[in-house]
Amino acid sequence: MIRWRDGVVVRVGREWQGAAELEVTTGDGPLRALAYPALTGLPRPGDRVLLNATALELGLGTGGYALVIAVPERLPAGPPGPGHLIKARYTPMQACVLGADEQGSPHHEVLRDADDLGGMPVVVADLHSALPAILAALRADLPAPPVAAYVMPDGGALPAWFSRSAAGLRAAGWLAGTVTVGQAFGGDLETVTLHTGLLAARHVLGADVAVVAQGPGNLGTGTRWGFSGVACGEAVNAAAVLGGHPVACLRVSEADARQRHRGVSHHSLTAYGRVALARADVVVPVLDGEIGELVAAQARPLAARHALVSVPTAGLLAALAACPVPLSTMGRGLDQDRAYFLAAAAAGRHAARLLAG
């Protein structure tokens, strides 16, 4: 189940909010590792570390790093922080956090009876990589930058700290904060459910707009129903039942080698066409050439359940190029898969129009 490794830290590399890269040597050779200092303390050169190398050694999409489980000779001192919410429950790395919605929180009174998003646009996207593209268009199309929150469910990464994009967008002032919901943790705010996460974005962070997308590391099996992006349909339902305005971002690609993801991904067609029971604005980007015709045709059946909104993409490439964090999806950048990033940006453009009235 877990491929345990025992190593020694050679060097501490890049650090960003909540995470640090390490170079570690083991009996089997060097490894690139990642530590979450809030869980383990910050390892130093010469420290012995226990590692989970499972995904790395299997070469999975959620690999890339061995993960530090403990610095056994230098365990963090002192009691845990405040809070009584346990996330990643009953796993060896379960963490205790202060939930915005729990009784001991300073936000409990605000959230106790909160029940309405007041029409706030909630942009729902399948992949984490859509987040910066959505925000780029939001900011480009409004005279004043909106207050934007990222609500991260637990379909991908559990620690929000893994995301360099979220950290970079927060540092650039593009995000008011991240809310981690369900079993996910490490956000600026923690909540028990997606529903309280959306309400916290609105009533605690003061968000004008929220983006719901899983963290890095989405899971798919090549089957009709076996993918973590099914939760996009559930996010549409949550936004609608709370009086928000769901905006469905289509996952689009002109470069993915897998036929099920060419044009509009089957993830979007299933999540919005089968799972989402509430009505959403499904943003159909206006794209040039055959890819534009394909996307429009594939999206058309969604009109039986949702409002299809055709959104021009003129000018959005410039907005995407100005993004303060790298744009990358499945290893492809803006030049390799423009359709993907333009589709995400189009959803941001529609949300901006909703805010502008």
Q: What is the pLDDT of residues 7-32, one digit of tens each?
A: 999 999 999 999 999 999 999 899 99
Q: Give the Cα separation of 268 and 136 in Å (integer).
A: 21
Count CB neighbours of 289 within 10 A: 9
Q: Give the Cα separation of 70 and 304 in Å (integer).
A: 52
Q: Which of 266, 255, 267, 233 is closest to 335 using CA atoms?
A: 255
Question: What is the chain's pLDDT, residue by residue, as a tens digit (357 residues)?
Answer: 899 999 999 999 999 999 999 999 999 899 999 999 999 999 999 999 999 999 898 888 767 899 999 999 999 887 677 899 999 999 988 999 999 999 999 999 999 999 999 999 999 999 999 999 999 999 999 999 999 999 999 999 999 999 999 999 999 999 999 999 999 999 999 999 999 999 999 999 999 999 999 999 888 888 989 998 999 999 999 999 999 999 999 999 998 878 788 899 999 999 999 999 999 999 999 999 999 999 999 999 999 999 999 999 999 999 999 999 999 998 899 999 999 999 999 999 999 999 998
Q: Can you say whether the dihedral through the CA atoms of 52, 225, 126, 120 is positive or negative? A: negative
- Under a CB-based contact definition with an 8 Å cutoff, are residues 341 and 334 in contact? yes
Domains of the chain: 4-70 (2.40.50.140), 108-356 (3.40.50)
Q: Give the Cα separation of 76 and 37 in Å (integer).
A: 9
Q: Can you say whether the dihedral through the CA atoms of 51, 80, 161, 195 is positive or negative? A: positive
Q: What is the pLDDT of residues 320-338, one digit of tens each?
A: 999 999 999 988 999 999 9
For 224, residues 6+ apart whose C-beta sits below 8 A from its C-beta are 266, 270
Whole-prediction pTM value?
Answer: 0.95
* b/e burial code for range 303-324 (CB count within 10 A of at least 16 → b): eebbeebebebeebeebbeebe
